[in-house]
Amino acid sequence: MPEKIRITAIGGSLEPVSSTKALMELAIKELTSLGAEVNVFDIKDLELPFFRYQAVRGKNAGKIVELLSAIRTADGFLFASPEYHGTISGAFKNVLDYLEYLSKDEPPYITGKPAGLIAVAGAESAGSGTLNAMMNIVHSLRGIVVPGSIAVGSAGSLAGNGGDRSSDQLKRRLKRLCLELYRLSGKLK
The footprint of ligand FMN (CB under 6 A) covers: 13, 15, 18-21, 82-86, 120-123, 126, 155-156, 159
What sign results for the dihedral spanned by CA atoms 49, 53, 54, 55?
positive
- Least CB distance to ligand FMN at residue 152 (A): 8
Nearer residue to ligand FMN within complex by CB, 54 or 125: 125
Closest listed residue to residue 21, CA positions, set 160, 162, 172 = 160
CB 182 within 8 A of CB 34: yes
Which residue, 30 or 83, is less far from ligand FMN as judged by CB?
A: 83
Q: Count how many residues are written for the chain.
A: 189
Helices (H), the chain: 19-34, 43-46, 61-72, 90-97, 128-140, 168-188
Report the residue number, 121 or 181, with the smaller CB distance to ligand FMN.
121
- Judged by beta carbon, residue 85 or residue 187, the one nearer ligand FMN is 85
Q: Is 40 helix (H, G, I), strand (E, B) or coil?
A: strand
Q: How far is the CB of 105 from ligand FMN (least distance, A)?
A: 30
- Please say which residue, 38 or 126, places its beta carbon nearer to ligand FMN: 126
Query: At its nearest, how many Å lie between ligand FMN and the CB of residue 3?
Result: 32
Query: What's the min distance (Å) between Cβ of 21 and ligand FMN?
Result: 6
User: What is the nearest approach in angstroms of ligand FMN to the Cβ of residue 55?
Assistant: 24
Sign of the four-CA dihedral 157, 120, 88, 71 = positive
